[in-house]
Every structure is written in structure tokens, then in C-alpha cells.
Amino acid sequence: MDKLGDLVSRQNWLGPVERVLGAVADVLFLKDVPLGQKVRNFLHGTWLGHPLHPVITDVPLGAWTAAAAFDLYELSTGDKSLARGADVAVGIGLIGAAGAAFTGLNDWNHTSDKPRRVGALHAITNIAATACYLGSWWQRRNGCRRAGLTTGFAGYTLSMVGAYLGGHLVFNERIGVNHAPEALPERFVPVMKESELPDNKMVKAEADGVPLFLVRRGRRIFAMAEKCSHLGGPLSEGEFDGQAVTCPWHGSTFAIGDGSILAGPATYAQPCFEVRVSEGQIEVRASRGMAANPY
């Protein structure tokens, strides 16, 4: 039961917010420009093997937590010896927030339905938190210290709400986690007759209950997990160009030989299988260094 997600998904006033954020993301991340894919891959964390957004969010949350602690000390004791440190932490948090916003918006632009709506609220909350800290930073620099501290506490409260929604997106909506299967058969298991596999056409099968697809290229047969590591899209319904398969949902592209990512938004490589043919039967098992064997 996902009470929070269900509640947020009923908030229709977030619809226009989603449309604005989507339009901004399309322009900002060069949707229709070839170079844009490289920019988007970088921001997704394709090069890192892990989503980049949750890595960067630690910067504003950590910095603003330090600032809030220093401010609290100053307010409760009247001692201003940590004031400079608090102000620097607010500034560091603002720089980190810009990075978190870019990476988060880029990831969010590939979500749909409930996660998209929860993500929109997550974005609004964090934008409001950042606006508070911008105000706090300005007030601190212009002699309105007490107001700066108060605005900072408001920003910190909002950033905690934003962080909670971010956690909800990961743990309840499974955004940013690996959707590809992890438990793959260790021993060779039969999946289909070799004579039933045409050339250059992806065919769905199952190995010990794990969905996969097979594709033949000349004398080689390749097998890859069916569920896309990004959000579980059906790879066999995507496109195969002889070297790589492209997911039909958001366009992640994986090399058929080893499952490595050629284009995001996926950040986890796609599991491949070792393949052999025994007595006319195609058999697969979890890859042990090679994605597909010649037979």
C-alpha cells in the first residue's frame, strides 16, 4: 500500500507543473540534438554505473545540515564563532543544489504516471528549499542575520521534506534502482530449440523463470535479460541493429555482446547469458565473463 504516492498522484494541480518541468528539461538537455545524448548520459550517471543524482544530493543536504547545526548553536548561545562556517555551508549547499536539480530533472524526464507526479512534488519542494537558502544567503550578507537564520531553518525543513519524497521515489516507486533480474541460473538450462530461432530477430524465452530474449547473428547466438535495467521495459520489443538493442520505453541502448550501456538513461549494465547449443537445444546460464559463446 502506497498511501503517500496515491495521495500525491491525486493532486491534479501538479499536472501543469509536470508539463512546465518537462518542457524545461527537453530544452535544457537538448532533446533533439545529437550531442544532447552525451550530456544526458553524463547527467544520468551512465559513466558511473550508478545514478548521479543521489550522489550529488548529499552535498546540499550535508552542507545545509551543518549550517542548521551552526545556526542553532549561534541562536541558543549567542556565540557567533561558527557564523562564518554556517554562511559558507549555505553557499556550498546552493552550489550542490544546482547540480542536484540538473541531474534530478534529467532523470525525472524519463518517468511517468505516479513516479512522475511524486517527482514533480519533490522538485517543487526542493526548488522552494533552494529559494529559501538563496534568500538566507542574501540576508546573511546584507546584515539581516536573524532573518537569514530564520529563512535558513525554513529552507532546511523544506529540504527534509524534499529528501523524504526522494527516498519515497527510490524505495516505493523504485526509481533509480536496477530493474534487471539479479538471480540468474548458474547451470545451463534449455530455453528453446535452435531450429526455432530465426536470424536477426529477437525472440522471448525464459530460463528458470527469468525472462530473456535470444537473437542470432550468423553463427552466434546472444541472450540478454528481457527486463531493461532502467525501469523494466521489454527489450525484445525494442530495436536491434546487429550490435545493440534499444529499449522501446526510454531509448536506453545496450551492447548485445556484453550488456554495456551505449546510451542512457540506464545506469546499470544489462545482464547477459552464456549460450550453448546441445542436441539442437539452446541452453543458457549466467554469464561468467562472456555474454555469448560461438557454437
- Select the span of 50-58, 86-94, 183-191, 246-254 touching ligand FES (CB under 6 A): 246-254
CB-wise, 136 or 246, nearer to ligand FES?
A: 246
Closer residue to ligand FES in complex, CB, 31/220: 31
Among residues 59, 197, 207, 247, the one that binds ligand FES under rule CB under 6 A: 247
Phi, psi of 9 (to 5 degrees): -70, -15
| Residue 62 or 211 with smaller CB distance to ligand FES | 211
Nearer to ligand FES, 165 or 175 (CB): 175
Residues 142-181 that bind ligand FES (CB under 6 A): none
The full 3-state SS of the chain, as one line of letters, equals: CCHHHHHHHCCCCHHHHHHHHHHHHHHHCCCCCHHHHHHHHHHHCCCCCCCCHHHHHHHHHHHHHHHHHHHHHHHHHCCCCCHHHHHHHHHHHHHHHHHHHHHHHHHHCCCCHHHHHHHHHHHHHHHHHHHHHHHHHHHHHCCCHHHHHHHHHHHHHHHHHHHHHHHHHHHCCCCCCCCCCCCCCCCCEEEEEHHHCCECCCEEEEECCEEEEEEEECCEEEEEECECCCCCCEHHHCEECCCEEECCCCCCEEECCCCCEEECCCCCCCCEEEEEEECCEEEEEECCCCCCCEC
Distance of CA 1 to the CA centre of its chain: 23
Q: Sketch the per residue contact string, 42 through 81, with ligand FES: x for CB under 6 A, - otherwise.
A: ----------------------------------------
Q: How far is the CB of 248 from ligand FES (least distance, A)?
A: 7
**270 touching ligand FES, by CB under 6 A:** no
Nearer to ligand FES, 93 or 251 (CB): 251
Which x/- pattern over 104-143 shows residues binding ligand FES (rule: CB under 6 A)?
------x---------------------------------
Per CB under 6 A, 236 contacts ligand FES: no
| Least distance in angstroms from the C-beta of 3 to ligand FES | 26
Query: Is 252 among the residues that bind ligand FES (CB under 6 A)?
Result: yes
Interacting positions 210-229 with ligand FES (CB under 6 A): 228
Number of shown-chain residues binding ligand FES (CB under 6 A): 13
Q: Choose among 161, 154, 153: nearest CA to 73.
A: 153
Least distance between ligand FES and beta carbon 211 (Å) = 14
Residue of 155, 233, 259, 271 that binds ligand FES (CB under 6 A): 233
Tell me: does residue 250 bind ligand FES (CB under 6 A).
yes
CA distances from 21 to 7, 76, 78, 143, 208 (A): 21, 40, 42, 35, 42
Residue 220 CB, shortest distance to ligand FES, in Å, is 24
The Cβ of residue 155 has, within 10 Å, a number of other Cβ atoms equal to: 28
Q: Tell me if 254 contacts ligand FES by CB under 6 A.
A: no
Residues binding ligand FES (CB under 6 A): 110, 228, 230-233, 247, 249-252, 265-266
